[in-house]
Amino acid sequence: MFRSKLLFISLLCTTLLIGCAPQSSSNQTLPDKPKEINASYVSRPINIPSVVAKEKQMFEEEFAKDGIEFKWHDIPVPSNQLEALAGKSLDFSNSLNYVSVILAKASGNDIKVVSSYSHFPKGISLVVTPNGSISSIADLKGKKIALQKGTMLHEMLIRALAEVNLTTQDIQLVNMDSTAAATAIAAGHVAATILPEPLLSKTVATGKVKKLRSAEGLISGLTVIAVRNEFAQTQPELVKRFLKVHKASVNWSETNLEEAFAMTAKQNQLDIKGVKNLYPEFNFDMSLNDVKADLQASATFLQKEGMIRPDVDINKLVEDLVDPSYLPTT
């Protein structure tokens, strides 16, 4: 009888201890995987990795393993991509220009830069009408110039003007996207604009504009892959897998260049020779090694120019913005 009581008390204490013990982290509720992943699709200037990935359905096949539907959204305008990220209708933004990213972050858009997409400063140029009235940047004073504000093209213009002691107050700046700007300068409605490839080559080929100054030495021509911070925090493994697939598309493109050129030419309605000529101007390295320094320099410049509020801590902004921890290690 006494032994039976001792056994009962021992079992009771063991049960109570187990019940009071902290739960294993493995039993904690993990966020459910999303039913779909949404990413922006930008095929221009010549975004070969994205074209290849879409053509070969690389992302669709990867995430279908988990029953997740992957959806591309054709959103070429940076401001529209950022609006979609803020509204949670987009999870990833591909080929987003670095100035738009900085300004969005400074305005409270909670995003992360998780990879570089491309660098192409040689593929951007300030162009003017070929009538001879503009032969240098200094000649832009008082002229009407069209470009999309809040982009790397805007920063390039500011930096080019600064080289000759001019500011945007010395010109007439008209806000419009690059396609509209190309049409406007060809029609003689504006005196200058800044165009990226392949629109740059197409417009110059008409004979209605000429190159005056490339972006090389002015801006990095950087585009990045950005993700909603909430998505990155709750689905870190999916972000890592996304970047692994992107890397696979870069690697496949490099190994199968001719096929990648053909896909890109068809998608962007370009001559394949044009794609081959432009390809050397683009670097699709995903590394973020120099990106923080580039963003730091740009953000400091933009703040000085009044495009970022003076109370914004630039160091903290860039530190919060760039996260290389999701990049593939192999």
The residue type at 49: P
Residue-level pLDDT at 13: 41
CB 110 within 8 A of CB 228: yes
Q: Flag whether pLDDT at 26 surpasses 50.
A: no
Q: Flag whether pLDDT at 60 surpasses 80.
A: yes
Residue-level pLDDT at 29: 60
Q: Torsion angle of alpha carbons 44, 46, 49, 51, nearest 10°? A: 60
Q: Flag whether pLDDT at 123 surpasses 80.
A: yes
Average pLDDT of every residue of the chain: 90
In this prediction, what percent of the chain has a pLDDT beyond 90?
80
166-222 pLDDT, tens per residue?
A: 999 999 999 999 999 999 999 999 999 999 988 998 899 999 999 999 999 999 899
Strand partners, 128: 192, 210
Residue-level pLDDT at 209: 94
235-271 pLDDT, tens per residue?
A: 999 999 999 999 999 999 999 999 999 999 999 999 9
Residue-level pLDDT at 303: 93
Conformation bin of residue 6: beta by default, left when phi > 0, alpha when psi is -120 to 50: alpha
**Residue 152: is it exposed, middle or buried by C-beta count within 10 angstroms (0-12/13-18/19+)?**
buried
pLDDT band at 30 (very low <50, low <70, confident <90, very high): low
CB 278 within 8 A of CB 123: yes
287-321 pLDDT, tens per residue?
A: 999 899 999 999 999 998 899 999 999 999 999 99
Q: Flag whether pLDDT at 56 surpasses 70.
A: yes
- State pTM to two decimals: 0.83
Q: Flag whether pLDDT at 8 surpasses 80.
A: no
Please compute the mean of the pLDDT values over residues 152-169 and round it to a whole number: 95
CB 145 within 8 A of CB 229: no
Q: What are phi and psi of 111, to 5 degrees?
A: -125, 160
Beta strands 210-214 and 124-128: pairing type?
Answer: antiparallel
